[in-house]
Chain A
Amino acid sequence: GQQLNQSPQSMFIQEGEDVSMNCTSSSIFNTWLWYKQDPGEGPVLLIALYKAGELTSNGRLTAQFGITRKDSFLNISASIPSDVGIYFCAGYPRGGATNKLIFGTGTLLAVQP
């Protein structure tokens, strides 16, 4: 099946640092979603992107829908300890079923106070 390549797999940073992660595919996507998952909990939707070039912010988080429509980026500014968790990208590929979301393998973020 289709896959989303998410990188990096893990990040260990100091509090206050900025973070960048990305998600790429060989296919064109119509929608990109970014989720955060805390340990033992379900993913929580952070940002949704619907068109190429779109840049959307949610507090200290900013995500972009890549111009090629094959990638997306998530940035976290001035990280804090509660940013710890696993961040997943997800998307709906063009021509795919509109109800079958494809997930990346996640980026584990650890923030040292």
Chain B
Amino acid sequence: DGGITQSPKYLFRKEGQNVTLSCEQNLNHDAMYWYRQDPGQGLRLIYYSQIVNDFQKGDIAEGYSVSREKKESFPLTVTSAQKNPTAFYLCASSIRQGASEKLFFGSGTQLSVL
């Protein structure tokens, strides 16, 4: 099946620890994204990548880092600098439809702080 796979589904972080969330897609999409979702709120963009070896900061990039070494993979690291990391993290990839992109999402990772 084609799709976007996020792992793990649940992740716990200790104080001062970096953790990495995995996102893999086999849709052959060029662009990939990371969003953060807090309860009762919309999605906020953390980082995005339009092509391999290139990525840009979104609206809330502080305390996060990414890499895009392969087209299929876009891992997100939540660093110790992110003081409020508890949230639901969503990875997405997109395909261009005319002048716009249609985003498709993974099933998310719930990150909690111990």
Partner-B contacts on A (CB < 8 A): 1, 4, 30-31, 33, 35, 40-45, 48, 50, 88, 90, 92, 98-101, 103-106
Contact = CB atoms under 8 A, between A and B. Distances in A.
B103 interface: yes
Contact of B101 (A4, A40, A98, A106): A98
Nearest to A31: B100
Contacts of B14: none
Contacts of B31: 99
Please give me the 8 A-B residue pairs with the lowest Cβ-Cβ distance, nearest first. Answer: A42-B105, A31-B100, A103-B42, A105-B42, A103-B43, A42-B107, A42-B108, A43-B105
Given A40-B110, A99-B94, A106 B42 contact: yes
Nearest to A29: B100
Contact of A40 (B98, B103, B108): B108
Nearest to B35: A103
20 contacts: A30-B99, A40-B88, A40-B108, A42-B6, A42-B90, A42-B105, A42-B108, A43-B90, A50-B97, A50-B100, A88-B43, A98-B100, A99-B31, A99-B94, A99-B101, A100-B58, A101-B45, A101-B103, A103-B42, A105-B41
Contact of B59 (A1, A44, A48): A1
Given A99-B50, A99-B94, A42 B106 contact: yes
A30 B100 contact: yes
A48 B102 contact: yes
Contact of B99 (A4, A48, A98, A106): A98
Given A1-B59, A92-B100, A98-B100, A104 B42 contact: yes
Nearest to A49: B100
Which of B103, B108, B110 has the largest number of chain A CB atoms within 10 A? B103
Given A45-B102, A101-B45, A101-B101, 7 more contacts: A42-B90, A42-B105, A50-B97, A98-B100, A100-B58, A103-B43, A106-B40
B74 interface: no
